[in-house]
Structure formats: C-alpha cells, structure tokens
A and B are shown apart, each in its own frame.
Chain A
Amino acid sequence: MTDARASDGGPAPERIRVTVNGRLCELDVVPHALLLDVLRDRLDLKGAKRSCDAQVCGACTVLVDGLAVSACTYLAVEADSRSVLTVEGLAEDARLHPIQQAFVDHGAIQCGFCTSGMLLTAKALLDDEPAPRRQDVLDHLRGSLCRCTGYRKIVEAILAVARTRP
C-alpha cells in the first residue's frame, strides 16, 4: 500500500507525532496503516523489510521506545508520541554502530535481507542485558530468521560486542 490516506468513506486519518531515528515527524495516517508501510513508503526508510508479514521472521523488526516490534503487524498510530529506531538510525556520523561493525568483522552477513532486523534485535538485547550468555542470545534471536542459515556468525558477532563493552 503506497498511499496510507483514507479513500472515500474510509476512516479519517489522524495526526501522529513520532520521533524516527531522532527526527520528529508529523504524519497523517489512517488507523489501518501499518508502521512498516509508513516507514518504507512515506518516510522512504527501506531498511525494515516485509517478508513473512506474520511476525514470524523478524525482517521488519524496528525498535519502538527501545523494544523490538514487528513493524508489519504494528499499527502506525501506536507509534504516536513514541520513538522509532530503524537500521538507518544506527550509525552515527557515518560511523557504524559497534554492532554493525561486529557484523562486518565477523562476516555475519550473507544476502543481507535479515540483517537490519538482526541488528536491531541485537541492539535491544544488548541494551537490556549488556553481558548475555550464548543461550540468552539464542533465546533472544528465536523468531529472527536468516534464510541463508548464517546464524553462527551472527551469534558470534553479538557475543563479541558484549565482550568488548565495559
């Protein structure tokens, strides 16, 4: 759906104020607009991917107030007055986020389709538990699917970030 505005007779759009990657955005969205469509089609942030469209795979993961959510199954109006982080907001001043750098260093990327979701899922974990055990990482990544099956390097990259943090 490229146009999140109401068609004739549909419910009226409502104004939301949402901070996306640190920038305050005011948007008019209809109640049935999904956050994923608003991010991709209204704000041109294509990092979050639509894949399973059923909260199973994690490719559309973004953080809302620091918590991982499936943007494919999350109403955009729920993001009102909240802060959304997408993969585009991870790097600072063209310097990769430490988790991104660890993914590069460990070759934790194959086709790349799951990567943005994996990075944000990892960030949510490490912000919560700075020193997770391997089993914590595996538990946390359950439901984040890499169709290339490159899990081992992803887990190693996340554990490496955890080890280097003070």
Chain B
Amino acid sequence: MLRPFTLHRPRVAAEACELLARLGDDAAPYAGGTELLLLMKEGLLRPRHLVDVKRLPGLDAITGDGAQLVIGATVTHRAVERSAVVKARCPLMASVARHVANVRVRNVGTVGGNLAFADPHSDLATLFLTLDASVALTSPRGERKLPLADFVRGPWETVREPDELLASVTLTPWPGRAAAVYIKFGVYERPTLGIALALLLEDSSARVADARIAIGCVNPRPARVPGAEARLRGCPIADLDDVSGAVAELVAASADPADDLHGSADYKREMVAVFTRRALRAAAARARGADPVARYPYAVVA
C-alpha cells in the first residue's frame, strides 16, 4: 500500500526544481513511477511529496541533433522502441527498448527514470555507455552536463543533487558501418547480466576499426571495458572467432560481481565470459550481413 503523499504538477522546469529544492529529501521526482512507486509500496522510500515531471515541456522529445541523439527524460521505453529517428540512427537502441522489463513497464516507464534510479539490473545504461552517453541536469543554478559514467555513482545512487532534474540524455550513435548487439541473460524479471557490444567497421567491412564493450548488472554500476575494446581494434572480421576467447577473458576479469540471488560471483564471471563470446559471434554475423539466429536459454539477443 502507498502511504499518503501530495502530488505536485509543475508546468515548467524552474518550478519543479524550486519545489525539489524547498522540499529536499521529503520530495521525489515522479514520472512513470515504475521504480519509485514500487519502493514506496515497500516502505523503502517515504517521500511526502511527489513532483510530477511529465507535464514539463520538452522533456518528452527525441531529437536527432547533428551526430547526436537527444532523448528527453520523460520519453517512455515504448516511444524509444517506436521512434523513427532512433530506428534510423541506432536501430539496436530501438530493439533493446523493445525488450526492457515487460510491456506494462515499457508503456509507462521513462528513460530518465531508468537512468536516475540507477538500478544496477538495467539495460539502458549499459547500452548507453557504448554510445558515449552524457546526461543534462537542470537546477535553479543552471544546467550541467556530465558523462553517464560519472552520473551513476553506484547501485541506486547518482550524483544528482536534490534540486536537480535529469532533463535529457545525449547519445552519439556509432559512425558509419557498425555491427552491434545487446545480449541479456537471467531467469528473473530483471536481467542477471547485460552485454552491449559494437564493432565499428572499416569501410571495407573486413576489419574492426574500433570497438565498444560495456557490461551491466554484474557490477555495482555498468562499465565499459577498455582493455577488451583495445584487443578488438584492427582485428579482421574473419579472425573474430580466434580472439573471442581472449576478449571474453578480459571482459570477465574486469567484472566486479557479488554473490546474491542471481548467482555466485564466480558463476556470474563465468557467464560474462560465455556471453561475451556469444555477443562477439552475433556481432561478427551482423558484420557479415547475416542475422544472428542463435537463441540461448533465458537470454534475449537484441
């Protein structure tokens, strides 16, 4: 059951920030409520004021801005899935959005809420790290922009100040030809592990010019794996199978898992290696223009 609260519906961001500044810890920004209301029902959060940010102008837009893609904080997962500009600029993102949580959460839950909650068992932040994401925070003191990697401090913890609103996330879709995949694995509602992999191909498509790998859910916060990315740079597509073992070991070694209900730390590290190899196989297939048809138990290949 929910405890009573007052629902504020500001019409402009300045008003929302002023409310958040004045009410401090007694208030929480509210959009879809798919995370917030759950924790409130459990009594883990007890704000006496919710500040509804869904009526703030501009926050529900997706815009292609030059080489970048800007997603407003109150854009729902469903809107990302169906956005023409997302499908054109980063089809993998639309595909990942299609597999976030379940259809009811996707219809209501927002991109901003997902990032601001910093639930470690989330898909978006992991994928967004491979797109060099940065977030824009608005407050009465102005706007600041910072990399998503710096925004997320740890599980359910960000550097957002109480009077700051997450306004948008800016992504840089991979330039030119890219073969990318996102795989998540787990038997529970929330994923046990997520891997985002993008191979940026040379014009000939014969070789990997650059690579992005991020892992999520197994760490306190999602993280890129620069060592594994370096190992893939310059690798001929034909040789990806040969290096997949070494890359998988690098990614697994970078993981920082804990024992919990999703499994032991050792098990998770092993699964990171297993699914890194699978992600590389799937991306290699896409690099060759094939659709990866492989299905794995309890896994989603986006």
A residues at B contact (CB < 8 Å): 1, 6-7, 10-11, 30-34, 53-56, 58, 61, 67-70, 73-75, 77, 121, 124-125, 139-140, 142-144
Q: Is B204 an interface residue (CB 8 A)?
A: no
Within 8 A of A (CB), among B96-118: 98-99, 101-105, 107-108
Pairwise interchain contact B41-A68, C-beta atoms closer than 8 A:
no
Within 8 A of A (CB), among B1-42: 1-7, 33-34, 37-38, 41
Chain B residues, Cβ within 8 Å of A73: 33-34, 37-38, 41
Pairwise interchain contact A31-B5, C-beta atoms closer than 8 A:
yes
Chain B residues, Cβ within 8 Å of A75: 7, 33, 37
Chain A residues, Cβ within 8 Å of B99: 139, 142
The B contact surface, by secondary structure, is mixed
A7 to B78, CA, bound (A): 37
Q: Is B189 an interface residue (CB 8 A)?
A: yes
Known pairs A73-B38, A73-B41; A144 contacts B2 (CB<8 A) = no
Pairwise interchain contact A68-B4, C-beta atoms closer than 8 A:
no
Pairwise interchain contact B189-A31, C-beta atoms closer than 8 A:
no
CB distance from B126 to the nearest CB of A (A): 19
Supply 16 further A-B pairs (C-beta < 8 A) apart from A68-B107, A144-B102. A7-B4, A10-B4, A33-B2, A55-B38, A55-B101, A58-B102, A61-B104, A68-B103, A69-B104, A69-B108, A75-B7, A125-B103, A142-B102, A142-B103, A143-B101, A143-B104
Known pairs A11-B4, A58-B104, A143-B102; A67 contacts B34 (CB<8 A) = no
Annotate B66-107 by CB proximity to A: 1 below 8 A, 0 otherwise.
000000000000100000000000000000001101111101
A30 to B104, CA, bound (A): 23
CB distance from B50 to the nearest CB of A (A): 7
Chain A residues, Cβ within 8 Å of B7: 11, 31, 75, 77
The listed residue (A10, A54, A74, A143) touching B103 by CB distance below 8 A is: A143
